[in-house]
Amino acid sequence: MLGDGYHDVPAGKLAMVVTHLEMHSPAPVRDVPLPDGIALRQVTPTLDWYRDIFQRVGSQEWLWFGRLKMSDAELIAILNDPDVAFYTLSKDGQDEALLELDFRQNGECELAYFGLTPALIGAGAGRYLMNHAIATAWSKPIKRFHVHTCTIDSPQALAFYIRSGFTPYKRQIEVADDPRLTGMLGRDAGPNVPIIP
């Protein structure tokens, strides 16, 4: 257990404060229309599709790397699992969002990944997609819908989840190799987080 005060982070590592949030019944939603020129669709993802959208939504700006660490076989097992659902928002024929709902835990749904590329940010598409996530999760016989976010993700994410009806219930510290130093991501990724070799 960490005591109060400062604690050194080993060289080449990232340290993130992770906040876990949950809801135990469907949150009321503020109805918003799908912005003009944008279409929602459910996806049966291929490996190439998923890796592309994952990196464009989260890796370049926010250092998403969890799925990048997986082997092709590990990731394909998730993509092909009937208890995991994938959705996107398309604009001008290009997919620009990732919504991944994981129902593999009995009675629960995890909002595993949620995000938009810069092409959709500020258009109202995030609220529409979250409304869809809440409705889809609670259309199944679940008792809990949960998500987590961290301090290297978008600074808007935590407040957005709270406004969406999730309640914070736990905080953790996660330490991981900096993916820019391992070569998983380019050194220009995550410009808001300095590299400390």
CA 87 remoteness from chain centre:
12
Listed by start position, the domains of the chain span: 14-177
C-alpha distance across the termini of the chain, in Å: 26
β-pairing verdict for 167-177 and 38-43: unpaired
Q: Domain 14-177, what architecture?
A: 3-Layer(aba) Sandwich (3.40)
Which amino acid does the sequence have at 50? Y
Give pLDDT tens digits for 108-122. Answer: 999 999 999 999 988
Give pLDDT tens digits for 61-107. Answer: 999 999 999 999 999 999 999 999 999 999 999 999 999 999 999 99
Contact, 63 vs 179, CB < 8 A? yes
CA distance 39 to 55: 20
CA distance 189 to 180: 7
pLDDT band at 23 (very low <50, low <70, confident <90, very high): very high
